[in-house]
Amino acid sequence: MSDERFEIPKDMKSMAEASFEQARKTFEHFLASAQQTASSIEDKGATVRAGAKDISARAIGFAEKNVQASLDYAQQPLHAKDLGDVMRLHSEYVQAQMKALAEQASEMGQIMTQTAMEAAKPKN
């Protein structure tokens, strides 16, 4: 047996150390990017949840208004003087509800668009 010890040539050792250091930096960069992406996803999730909560609250509010309008209308024909009065009340109710539904649909569309845009914004 020889007493000679195996030594890695200095050039190879330097190259291996540089490669290891580069690999370590790349891995650290990868981890930092992954953490940032996870944080961004959590933020977007919170934005979407808040938007969904707002949309749900508005939908419930609209439903309450629409039911109340229907209940109010249901009593009106009982006090009508004649068939012409009933027809006028019905026409007014239908027109009011169509206007209300169009406004509600527009408002919901705006909220949904705003929520989608907020969720798509990059966090700085």
User: Which residues constitute the domain of residue 69?
Assistant: 10-120
17 in any annotated domain: yes
| Torsion (CA) 91, 96, 101, 102 in degrees, nearest 10 | 100
- pTM comes to 0.56
Distances (CA, A) of 68 to 18, 86, 107: 74, 19, 19
37 in any annotated domain: yes
Q: Choose between 23 and 80: higher pLDDT.
A: 80
58 in any annotated domain: yes
3 in any annotated domain: no
Q: What does the pLDDT look like over 47-93, one tens digit per residue?
A: 777 777 888 888 888 888 888 888 888 888 888 888 888 889 889 99
Distances (CA, A) of 72 to 1, 39, 46, 58: 106, 49, 39, 21
84 in any annotated domain: yes
Quickly state the pLDDT bin for 20 (edges 50, 70, 90): low
| Structural domains of the chain, count | 1
